[in-house]
């Protein structure tokens, strides 16, 4: 893909980032349920918790406004631009971009409220399916089977992790992993494997850094959705 087209896609990503906040806010207006941690039950919308966990304290109503909107636009530019630069010749690129656009909203929702709204997760799965099916039917139907297998493997793997005693994974994380398993599986088993591994490595680094900085406690609930999304994005770029 030419530099001009990559730049155009990156600018489209900036628009997607700008739209991510308002889209996330639509699905996070209702008060989320309390999250049980080893300590007392804490409402995840509590501004003090948000400040401790993310050093922001921004309620869901502020999603997509102020400096947050600029950061989301920058993230969209980076995500879309990198996808265009590395997978510009792939006919499945529109599907990856559509999933990434929904992923930006999911990341913001999880950061603000520790929630991965089911409608947004379903939208990510639908974007992957509707984008990949025509490409598969045009000449590579076997890749669609691999994509479905990737979704199944991701779902089962994360479900087992979520059911472990003391697990911090929620079922929203399980469903998001299954949705992202579609595009990861489409690219093959090495990409899928890396996409399943990287989120845990990324999240571990973030947690250690926050603990070292005194920003969180060991029992502070933290979002895992952004790590799932970032890990999948990096796997698409690296493999």
Contacts of 130 (CB under 8 A, 6+ apart): 95, 98
pLDDT given for residue 219 in this prediction: 83
Residue 113 token pair: 């409220």
Burial of 58 (0-12, 13-18, 19+ CB in 10 A): middle
Task: Mean pLDDT check: name the lowest of 48-62, 100-114, 135-149, 164-178.
Answer: 48-62
pLDDT-based confidence at residue 42 (cuts at 50, 70, 90): very low
Q: What does the angle CA 234 – CA 238 – CA 239 come to, to the nearest 5 degrees?
A: 120
pLDDT-based confidence at residue 58 (cuts at 50, 70, 90): very low
pLDDT given for residue 66 in this prediction: 64
Comparing C-alpha atoms, which of 213, 189, 237 is closest to residue 80?
A: 237
Task: Flag whether pLDDT at 57 surpasses 80.
Answer: no
pTM (2 decimals)?
0.86
pLDDT given for residue 68 in this prediction: 79
pLDDT given for residue 55 in this prediction: 39
Query: Alpha helices, DSSP H only, in the chain?
Result: 3-26, 47-54, 66-87, 93-113, 118-137, 141-163, 171-186, 189-212, 225-238
Task: Flag whether pLDDT at 60 surpasses 80.
Answer: no
Which has more pLDDT, 38 or 141? 141
pLDDT in tens, 160-193: 999 999 888 999 999 999 999 999 999 999 999 9
pLDDT given for residue 45 in this prediction: 38
**Cα distance between residue 199 and residue 123, in whole Å:** 21
Segment holding 41, helix H or strand E: none
Q: What is the mean pLDDT of the chain?
A: 87
pLDDT given for residue 153 in this prediction: 98
pLDDT in tens, 62-101: 565 667 789 999 999 999 999 999 998 899 999 999 999 9
The DSSP bridge pattern shows strands 34-35 and 42-43 to be antiparallel
Task: Flag whether pLDDT at 27 surpasses 80.
Answer: yes
**Average pLDDT over every residue of 14-27:** 94
CB 191 within 8 A of CB 167: no
**Average pLDDT over every residue of 125-152:** 95
pLDDT in tens, 216-238: 898 889 999 999 999 999 999 99
**Cα distance between residue 116 and residue 192, in whole Å:** 21
Residue 194 token pair: 């890396």
Share of the chain above pLDDT 70, in %: 84
Comparing C-alpha atoms, which of 199, 123, 129 is closest to residue 158?
A: 199
Segment holding 42, helix H or strand E: strand 42-43
What are the distances in angstroms from CA 168 to CA 34, 51, 107, 220, 236? 14, 20, 17, 10, 26
For 187-216, the DSSP string reads T-HHHHHHHHHHHHHHHHHHHHHHHHTTS-
């Amino acid at each position: 893909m030419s530099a001009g087209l990559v730049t155009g896609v990156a600018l489209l990503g900036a628009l997607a980032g700008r739209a991510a906040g308002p889209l996330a806010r639509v699905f996070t207006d209702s008060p989320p349920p309390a999250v049980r941690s080893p300590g007392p039950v804490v409402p995840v919308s509590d501004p003090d918790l948000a400040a401790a966990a993310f050093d922001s304290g921004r309620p869901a109503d502020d999603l997509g406004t102020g400096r947050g909107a600029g950061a989301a636009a920058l993230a969209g530019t980076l995500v879309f631009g990198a996808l265009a630069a590395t997978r510009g010749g792939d006919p499945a690129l529109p599907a990856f971009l559509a999933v990434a656009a929904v992923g930006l909203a999911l990341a913001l929702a999880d950061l603000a409220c520790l929630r991965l709204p089911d409608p947004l997760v379903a939208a990510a799965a639908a974007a992957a399916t509707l984008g990949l099916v025509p490409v598969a039917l045009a000449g590579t139907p076997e890749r669609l089977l691999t994509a479905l297998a990737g979704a199944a493997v991701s779902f089962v793997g994360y479900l087992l992790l979520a059911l472990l005693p003391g697990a911090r994974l929620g079922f929203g994380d399980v469903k998001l992993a299954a949705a992202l398993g579609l595009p990861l599986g489409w690219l093959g088993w090495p990409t899928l494997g890396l996409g399943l591994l990287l989120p845990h490595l990324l999240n571990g680094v973030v947690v250690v850094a926050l603990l070292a900085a005194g920003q969180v406690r060991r029992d502070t609930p933290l979002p895992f959705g952004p790590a799932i999304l970032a890990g999948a994005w990096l796997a698409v770029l690296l493999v």
